[in-house]
Each structure stands twice: as structure tokens, then as C-alpha cells.
Amino acid sequence: MKLHDNSIAHIAKIIQMAILSGTDIVDHLRMVRFNSNEDEFLIIDEEYEEIFNSSIDKMMKNIPETEDNIENEKQD
């Protein structure tokens, strides 16, 4: 079996997320779920992808809050 291009791109996102969040890449890779298609490619499981994208969205929404907290701490 081969990884589909979208699966490879997703693995790259996982690596970036691990670097940015300071978390262990192994934990992120253990959560990934793949399915196979008729062409014998491994593709990202749709349910897993929705959950992953939702967690990224939540993280992005928290960034302004974090930046505000950092600015407030600098002023104190």
C-alpha cells in the first residue's frame, strides 16, 4: 500500500502541530486513522480528519486570547 498525497500532507501538518505546540510527535501519529481505497492507497479517515480540523480551529481561536495574556503580563 502507498500513502495518498493527502495523507502525506496530513502527516506534515501533524509534524508542524507537534513543533508549534511542543508536544510529542509520536502521540499525534498514534491518533491518525487511515482507510484504504480501491487503488490501494492509504487515505485519511474522514471522522478522524474532522476531529483533527476541529482541534486546530479551537487552537487557532485561542491564539488571540493567549497573545492578550502575554501582553498583559508584559505590562504588569
Determine the Cα–Cα distance for residues 76 and 66; give it in Å rounded to an integer: 16
pLDDT 10s digits, 37-70: 988 999 999 999 999 999 888 888 877 765 566 6
Helices vs. strands in the chain: H and E counts, helices first: 3, 3
Domain count, the chain: 1
Q: How far is CA 51 from the centre of its chain?
A: 9
Domain that holds residue 34: 2-75
Looking at the chain, the whole-number percentage of residues with pLDDT higher than 70 is 84
Report the phi/psi class of residue 22: left, alpha or beta, with left for phi > 0 and alpha for psi in -120 to 50. Answer: left
Give pLDDT, residue 62.
Answer: 77
Looking at the chain, the whole-number percentage of residues with pLDDT higher than 90 is 51
**pLDDT for 76 beyond 90:** no
